[in-house]
Structure 1
Amino acid sequence: MFDSEKMASSSEFKCVEFAVVDKEDIFFQVEHEDLESDDFKKENNKCFQKMIQIKNNRFLVVDEDVLTFKERNKEQCKADDCRFNIQVYRNNDIDKPRGSAVILSVTSPCKQTYMVCCKNGDQEGVSAKPLEQPLPDQIGSSQHEAVFFMELIPGTSQYRFESSLLSRSYLSFEAGPDAELMKLVLREVPEDCVDENCSMRLLAC
């Protein structure tokens, strides 16, 4: 589920009251509306489905809560586990134009999961969590575990995804213990540096 504490913005800027009506209705009541709000608002007409590909014809796949890159042929790419719904949000933080704010999710016949940043001890990573309610219309914070900034890499047709929660940390890939296994990870990248392992293609399903 989305964490209401992470979705509530700091009182330094405004007061946000969060309420849940039944299980599927979520709304926010914002006080001090004369102040600028740093938040994300869902763009209802901007949700599209793509496959995420890296080198060697590998596609990002959700297997339970694990995100890995696997080789897929044209027929295998029809499976739901590699078709990502990319929901765009309007970013009201005008000081940081860092690409399009998005939430990535996958819908399978049994369940829907969404991609989030997570911590395992001192290590930051990324995993898939069950989506137990619809994506929120508004997130009352400029940082959230499930929001990434999708940016077209200049001079290419590839994209990279920066975490809104962990600045300068990007979705990336690295080899696992098995040479055939490529894992999705979060990688910290210095400013003005391009890391090829963060470059990904978005392909039509």
Structure 2
Amino acid sequence: MQTNNNTPLQHCNRVKNANPNYTVPSNHTTRLAFVRDLVEKSQKINIVKSDAAVYMRPATNRKKIYYPDREKAMRALATVFCEHVNLVTHQVQISLRNAADSCGLSTISQNELNKTKVDKNYAPKPSISRASRAFKDMVDLGWIVAHKEWQVWDKHAGQWLDKYFEVTELFFKALGITPERVARQRDARLKYLRKKGINSGLTADQLGFM
């Protein structure tokens, strides 16, 4: 524990949630088998120490190892991303803010809690800085593509959020999934969507846009 000389409040350097994790919602009953497999692999395999991670380390600016807290944050986010990945576009269909909330990486500062004591109607703003740092490491490792123009400003949180981002081939490799299997899953999903679209009466142009 450390004490700030300017205030009687004490704070701890340890993270608020030492073991972030993601639990699949009970209403996710129609998940694809491949998605279920991805989630299970992400919980069993330490992707931060995978061959794909080790191979990419020299290409990053980070020289130090990933400390346990950062490693756990990256693994927790990976599981969330596996649950929400689109098998055709590889877009992760959940915002980083919601992903952080769902695996326990969001925090409320003491300053925000103090504001609620002063104003009972005040809604404290959560911080996702821990998730953001882990997310940046995943981008640096080549697992995630998240261009700046894809970001959006969250007025409530007062910070930038990654509204649109995609997992890459390296992300799947880190989970032990070969590019060939990923391609087969994409083709199978496209075939299903095409058949579903035709049965729904969509035109060729509408199917192509979809």
Greater fraction of residues in strand: 1
Q: Which has the larger radius of gyration?
A: 2
